[in-house]
Structure 1
Amino acid sequence: MIEKNRVKGLSEKEVIQRVQEGKQNLTQSAMTKTTNEIIRQNVFTMFNLMNLLIAIALFCVGAYSNMLFIGIIILNMAIGIAQEFKAKKTVEKLSLLSAPSVTVLRDGEEKTIATEEVVQDDIMALTAGQQICCDGEVLSGDMEVNEALLTGEADAIGKGIGDKLMSGSSVVSGRCLAKVIHVGNDNYAAKIAQEAKQAKEQSSELMQSMRKVTRITSLFIIPLGIILFLEAFILRSDPLFTSVVSTAAGLLGMLPKGLVLLISVSLAGGVIKLAKDQILIQDMFSLEALSHVDVLCLDKTGTLTEGRMEVESVQIFENVLAREVKLEPLMGSFLKYSNDNNATFQALKEYFKENSAFTVYSRVAFSSERKWAAMTFKEGVTFVIGAPEKVLQGEMPDALKSEIKRGRRVLVASVTEDVIKSQTNLSETKLTPIAGIVIRDCIRQSAPKILSYFRKQGVTVKVISGDNPVTVSMVAKDARLKNYDEAIDMMTVSEDADFRKIAEKYTVFGRTTPQQKKKLVQALKAEGHSVAMTGDGVNDLLALKEADCSIAMGNGSDAARQAAQVVLLKSDFSALPGLLLEGRRVVNNVTRAAGVFFIKTIYSVVMTLICVLANIPFPFLPIQITLIDAAIEAYPSFATAFEADGRRIRKKFLPAALRSALPNAAAIIMAFLLINFISGIGLFEIGMIEKTTILYFITGLISMQAVVKNNIPFTKLRLFVMITMAAGYFGAVFLFSHQLGLEMALNTGAILLLGAVLVIAFGIERLLTKCVRNYDRRKMTVDGRLSLNVHSTLQKEDQ
């Protein structure tokens, strides 16, 4: 054990003095956006800038009634900011339950404090599983650290007295006392951009798609706006007021104003909802990533099993030394002086009593890479315990083989006269086995049901574990995991092996090293899969960092919780289906709504182009566009945004939304052309206001038909929304027709034209919708066949 009586740490007075001097470990948390970031990202957007410029132009010509859309923009910003503030407050409150802590020595006593309370010169007591919060220097003890998140180097690095420790690295094994030499922004970790802790907003398909839409509309809106205005003001000699209003309407229609807000509100709502179930979302966009997951990688311990280990039996080997050497004194002394404290060692400590029969000379802590621990005693014997494949030299007894086939974890205890060090190759050391220790970890009762759920949802589950592959396979069998028998011993896999082929073929991966876990996740991603990874230890860090969505257990190591995007604070594996459903709800509902928002964007761009080429005014007014924005786009979308929708996501967001919008947009464009053509040839004598009124009615009806189409099958809520949407739209049209610039007293010719064009437009919409659906079906069929062919090819190559 580390001697602490020589190191008392700081006094309370010294701590207060350092806090006053600003030498406290305070850094800006990257877990949530700052208040300024939330306001800036909701206010200073390209969409808002364009809307502001249009509003200024309208204000300058006195078109105040057509500036109503600014009120909606301000309301959108207020709602978005309020929802994100609420999510921020919820996450920060919940994160206190998952906040990293560190044990320090103060006034000679151990004290566990939050990492933000550490001050310079504090003495940290570091143990396996912790993430080092501050740069430090080892004063006593020894341990191994993983610096992969900082340097990319996967191998554990030994640290002894006088060695420097980097914040952001993680303790793999051992224990030591270290003096804090840097705090806050002076820490190494604060000076570099750690991939594991970077926000993944840039990988959000939803936000990337909206940025793409913004860029494209920006290309159209400025030149088209200029041309549309100049044609009206110069070529047609329209008054300045009319020219500005007509131009503003065309430009307003191109902007899907409420869609970005809908995405933010939906994601923030999901964060708040999951927080009530003790699920901490540390990266809002991980919800979206979850929705696309088609491969879920699990560790056996704590997911399929309960994670509560207990020693079931001890089997003494049949050899002379095993009969002469007593296991209990050796094991008791080993446990007394060991610094390891993982679930396996806790089970050993519950079964064997600690004692002082032997005196420690040196020790090697357990690590996932080595898969063994050793302790050399002054009495001339070294005790080694670990995985049979590492510690057992010779054939494993049939009794232990049977235990492995039952899904039990087996450790082998051996002895040697040699001094064992961390770099010792055990295969070159003569080890004599004295006992096999059988450890049980019960299957979670919910595991079979949850695995069945994922299978039905099209999510492939793979188990990646450091345990014996036979043990893991049997546990997977008990949990009713499909293809549990497709198991591989990763110790037999070379570094240059084809990991893509291995990752696709097998379901269970045993004896996996941390580096191999990372390679398996990379391989699955390279095959086009969206991968979620669960983990609870330092050995999972590399894989967690690599996964599309990383999930840590609340009872796991500090390092795992800090690196993950999602933390299950209750460490409850059964929460995973709810996570998947919430992610799918967000993406499905946003995609459904986007199909309506993009209708106006498409027909506005095309109709503006037609108006420019034909030198005719844009048919609508800004106030008319605002009514469609509010009644047909925003209201139904936000009212149904939080409805459950766990359907599997098979399409890309932007192409799917545009295909959904295309039939209705094309029908409106055709109605615009027909109305202008028929009135142009004099078949019906109607004026400009009548033409606008006819087209506005048709546009409203076809847009509402898209909302109805996208909300099938109906629920009570959806039916209520559809009815109130129609009532609100037509009520506003009839009550405020004068303000909207519409003519309600249509003559017979206008009514006939309205009916004829409406029938043709609906026919075009139905035909194009059928074509789009046939295309989607064919594409899904082709994709399915390609996936099946790839899987068949892999199987043939292995035969």
Structure 2
Amino acid sequence: MEKPETQRAGRLPGSPPNLETGLTAAQVQTRIAQGLVNADDGIKTKTEKQIILENTFTFFNILNFVLALFVLLVGSFKNLLFLGVIFSNTIIGSFQGIRAKRTIDKLSLISAPKVTVLRDGALQTIAVSEIVLDDVMHLSNGQQICADAIICDGEVEVNESLITGESDPVVKRAGDELLSGSFIVSGSCYAQVEHIGSENYANRIANDAKYIKKAHSEILHSLDFIVKTLGFTLIPIGLLLFSKQFFILHDTLKDAVVSTVAAMLGMIPEGLILLTSVVFAVSVLRLSKYKTLVQDLYCTESLARVDVLCLDKTGTITEGTMQVDELIPLEGFTEQDMTEALTALINVLSDDNPTSNAVKARFTGETSWTATETVAFSSARKWSGASFAAHGTYVMGAGEFILRDHFDTLREQTEAYAARGERVLLLARTDSAFLEGKALPDDLQPVGLIAISDKIRAEAPETLRYFAEQGVTLKVISGDNAVTVSNIAQKAGLAGAENYCDASTLETEADAAAAIEQYTVFGRVTPQQKLQFVKALKENGHTVAMTGDGVNDVLALKEADCSIAMASGSDAARTVSNLVLLDSNFASMPQVVKEGRRSINNLQRSASLFLQKTIYSTVLSVLFIFLSASYPFEPIQLTFISTLTIGIPSFILALEPNRDRVRGSFLTNVLKKSFPSALTMVLGVLFLCLFQQPLGLSSEQVSTLSVIVAFTVGFMLMFKLCVPFNALRGVLFGAMLAAFFLGYIFFMDIFSMVPLSASMLFVLVPLLLVLIVFMMQTNHFMEHIAEKYTKRFLSDRLFKKHRMQNKKTRKEFRRSKQKN
């Protein structure tokens, strides 16, 4: 082996290796002592401890534990039932996080390659993490390059698609650099390790993605806003309410603490947090049936809201393999002649590269031809062939290398196929045998052309059509030639695929931002340009999803609102992505969108039940600071009310099928439904408390009537959400109504209620009638306001969009004017 001319500048101390024998054991130990080991320095998943701590010590949980401590200190143990929600929410979040982590770690372990190194004159197989600087690796067909290296001896073809995004194999010879993360397609070589650990090219890209990515979830942001807003108001409201009841009304310490905690618990939508976790956890389990791993509970929501989806060609539209599209016989030959010759060649040749494998897949029959001599494919020759007894010699490969100066007669024809994004092989024959040194005879006669292209996934056209029908704009972003990618996308049925751009012509971020809105297909895209494209789309108000499988995709995947990786791709891509397609099949994506829509639409409906309680509890808590009456509810009563009018119904309604498109803002949609019932509830309870003495009611009677009013208003809202009724909703509504009557009759003492007297009924019946009419009118008014607001919002958004487009047009005009 010859020592490569290209040496790494500034090599760290340590005796250089003998390239004939590799490093000695002593040299290896010296480098280990110096820390020059290829330790895995890529992106790591969180530890199980980190996941559990993140799900346990949340603002929401801490708040509830403090309230539970107060109730515990005064000995009211029955009012601690609300802690069940807190523990359930923590367990679900931790379980899903650990499950995703273990799956990703298992994928990484399975895909972690071994490497063969030359040490002490012998080849040894070691773990990638045990490579040291200057190790001499032996690399052959099918192996992944696990550390940047310089070829010392040999010649290989390398697929760098996971690094650069370009799928065409690149020939590498002695002195050339091999980048970690790429694969050997054909040939073998010895290569000296140049970089280790974080210095490797793949790790340098991956390290740029080591920042915390916030979940892009409107539901999560809405819940955070509600909980944090209430969190800052809870403490002063709770202190004022407790002070009033203990110091002014002279309630006992136990009664004052219990009623204050009841008011504060009512303000926190703890069940909504749990419901959200359960709904998305169910989505995770459902999607696992479609070989989809969800790493972020809220990412299905993000994908359901996506309006731009950026696709990588390989792994999404194509399978990553080649296929024979067409045989083109030349003058004097037929397709049958080509079929017989190609079948014979494939049966005797051992070539293993993408084009040869495509021909193998097409011509699988047996042959009676007997080979007398074979020549395997090499990247230097660019052809392979065989001589057959009584049939002559047949050669297959690149036309320029086979026919040399005589290729001009076929150049125009082959370029026409190349313009369609296809590779063209030439099949030629001669009656002569191979000459010494395996050189080609001069009298080769062209038999025909073989048109080969990337194999399009069978399900790709249907998947692309689904997203187009759903109003999602598709952008194909690839490292391959733009013309090739455009033709493949057109074959797959992507609308606008003929509108392509060579990203190598985009010089500035402004150029990239303008191009991403204008074109559908992009070729020759660098990792940084992918990131620029995603950022530009987000700045223009789009919700962006990104698919990818390579290290070159990591930066864009991390930036996207929802990122999808293929399990067959790099560790870094899988780790930073929200979704991992375990079978690397893009056809699972429509099901993910459907799950997201079911989750969002059902959560919007169920969240109305929770926020109703939050709104009326907050308003009542503030009002009772200034009223001379005690807060009418106990925690156990609110648990009873919440279970039957909120908890059970919301969970059942939230898990129903629902494929409606997501419309409007989550918080706006929820408040529109919950506010009328909350206001109705406040008025009912206020009436009972303000007129307690004139009506001659005791505190226990007012508390019981308040519970009944709360149930009535809750059932009215539930009725509205169940319309139109089906069998499930009918049974649900009837069962909850029956459960209330059974609970009141048989468990009255447990829920701190008293029997209805004549005087109570005299007050209750007309009050409920008035409240029903009031709630119906308020609902009608809110619907009218929401409709008016939505129209205005859409009008403003359309105006802003046109203004942005006009602004871009003016910029492009000025730029073109300056160039001219």
In which range does the TM-score fall when normalised by the shorter chain?
A: 0.7 to 0.9
Instruction: Tell me what 2:52 maps to.
Output: 39
Cα offset for 1:129?
A: 11
Matches within 5 A, 1:456-535: 456-467=469-480, 469-495=482-508, 497-535=510-548
Q: Secondary structure at the match of 2:617?
A: helix
Q: Tell me which of 638, 644, 653 is aligned to 1:625.
A: 638
Of 228, 232, 250, which aligns to 1:215?
Answer: 228
Alpha-carbon distance between aligned partners in 2 of 1:249 and 1:531, rounded to the nearest angstrom: 42
**Among the aligned pairs, what percent are the same residue?**
35
- 1:185-200 matches, cutoff 5 A: 194-196=207-209, 200=213
The answer as to 2:95 corresponding to 1:70 is no
AA matched with 1:495: T
2:752 maps to what in 1?
Answer: 741
Tell me the secondary structure at the aligned position of residue 577 of structure 1: helix
Q: Return the letter of the residue paired with 2:698.
A: G
Mapped contact 2:531–2:559 kept (Cα < 8 A): yes
> How far did residue 446 of structure 1 move?
2.5
Give the 3 Å change call, closer, same or farther, for CA 564–46 of structure 1 in structure 2. closer
Give the superposition deviation at 1:631: 2.9
1:120 and 1:181 in contact (8 A); partners too: yes
What is the alpha-carbon distance in structure 1 between the residues aligned to residue 560 and residue 600 of structure 2?
19
Deviation at 1:537, TM superposition (A): 4.1
Q: TM-score, normalised by structure 2?
A: 0.72
Q: Distance in 2 between matches of 1:479 and 1:110?
A: 46
Q: CA deviation at 1:478?
A: 3.5
SS at match of 2:75: coil
Match of 1:103 in 2: 115
Q: Is the 8 A contact 2:676 2:775 kept in 1?
A: no
**SS of equivalent residue, structure 1 residue 532:** strand
**CA distance in 2 between partners of 1:159 and 1:612 (Å):** 79
Deviation at 1:603, TM superposition (A): 1.4
Aligned-pair CA distance for 1:581: 2.2
Other structure's SS at 2:750 match? helix
Q: 1:728 aligns with which of 735, 739, 748?
A: 739
The answer (yes or no) to whether the contact 1:500–1:524 under 8 Å persists in 2 is yes
- Label 1:300 to 1:178 Cα distance change in 2 as closer, same or farther (>3 A): same
Give 1:621 deviation, angstroms: 0.8
Say which of 546, 561, 570 aligns to 1:548. Answer: 561
CA distance in 1, matches of 2:765, 2:210: 63
2:391 corresponding residue in structure 1:
none
Could you tell me how far 1:95 is from its partner in structure 2? 5.9
Distance in 2 of aligned mates of 1:163 and 1:401: 30
1:533 to partner: Cα distance: 2.0
> Structure 2 stretches of 5 or more lacking a match?
4-17, 164-170, 331-344, 364-372, 383-397, 402-407, 427-447, 814-820
After TM superposition, the score normalised by the length of structure 1 is 0.74
Q: State the one-letter code of the partner of 1:177.
A: A
- Asked if 1:228 is matched to 2:250, the reply is no
Are 1:309 and 2:322 matched, yes or no?
A: yes
Match of 1:687 in 2: 698
Compute the RMSD of aligned alpha carbons: 5.3
Distance 1:796 1:139 in 2: 53
User: In structure 2, do the counterparts of structure 1 residues 80 and 533 end up closer, same or farther at CA, with 3 Å as the change threshold?
Assistant: closer
Shift in alpha-carbon separation, 1:669–1:117, aligned structure 2, 3 A = farther
Q: Is 1:403 the equivalent of 2:417?
A: yes
Distance 1:468-1:24 versus aligned 2 partners, 3 A rule: closer
| CA–CA separation in structure 2 for the residues paired with 1:692 and 1:354 | 95
Task: Please give the secondary structure, in 2, of the residue aligned with 1:177.
Answer: strand
- Secondary structure of the residue aligned to 2:756 is coil
Per the TM alignment, residue 756 of structure 1 is displaced from its structure 2 partner at its CA by 3.4
Q: Tell me which structure has the larger Cα radius of gyration.
A: 2
* Residue identity matched to 2:703: T
Alignment-derived partner of residue 284 in structure 2: 271
Tell me the equivalent position of 1:259. 272
Which residue of the other structure, out of 294, 314, 318, is the alignment partner of 2:307?
A: 294
| Secondary structure in 2 matching 1:586 | helix
SS of equivalent to 2:563 = strand
Q: Secondary structure at the match of 2:565?
A: strand
CA contact (8 A) 1:8 1:106 kept: yes
Q: Which runs of 5 or more structure 1 residues have no equivalent in the other structure?
A: 150-157, 318-331, 364-382, 387-393, 414-434
Cα deviation for residue 610 of structure 1 reads 0.7
- The answer to whether the 8 Å contact 1:589/1:641 transfers is yes
What is the match of residue 428 of structure 1?
A: none
> Does the CA contact (< 8 Å) of 2:215 and 2:298 recur in 1?
no
Distance 1:172 1:283 in 2: 34
Q: Per-residue deviation at 1:191?
A: 11
Report the CA distance between 1:133 and its aligned residue. Answer: 5.9
Q: Helix, strand or coil for the counterpart of 1:196? A: coil
Q: 1:8 to 1:359 in 2, by over 3 A?
A: same
Query: Contact 1:500–1:526 at 8 Å: present in 2 too?
Result: no
Change (3 A) 1:197 1:302: same
2:369 maps to which residue?
none
* Conserved 8 A contact 1:195-1:545: no
Offset at residue 611 of structure 1 (A) = 0.8
**Matched residue, 2:262:** 249
Match of 2:765 in 1: 752
Map Cα deviations across residues 226-281 of structure 1 (whole Å, 9 max, x no partner): 11111111112222222112211111111111333333333344334333332233
Question: Relative to 1, partners in 2 of residues 1:402 and 1:358: Cα closer, same or farther, differing over 3 Å?
Answer: closer
Asked if 1 retains the 8 angstrom alpha-carbon contact of 2:114 and 2:125, the reply is yes
- The letter of the residue matching 1:690 is Q
- Alpha carbons of structure 1 residues 198 and 30: separation in structure 2 relative to 1, 3 Å: farther
- CA drift of 1:757 comes to 3.9
Tell whether 2:607 aligns with 1:594. Answer: yes
SS in 1 for 2:474: strand
Q: Which residue of 1 aligns with 2:20?
A: 6
8 Å contact kept, 1:501–1:794: no
Aligned counterpart for 2:463 among listed residues 447, 450, 453? 450
Deviation at 1:532, TM superposition (A): 1.7
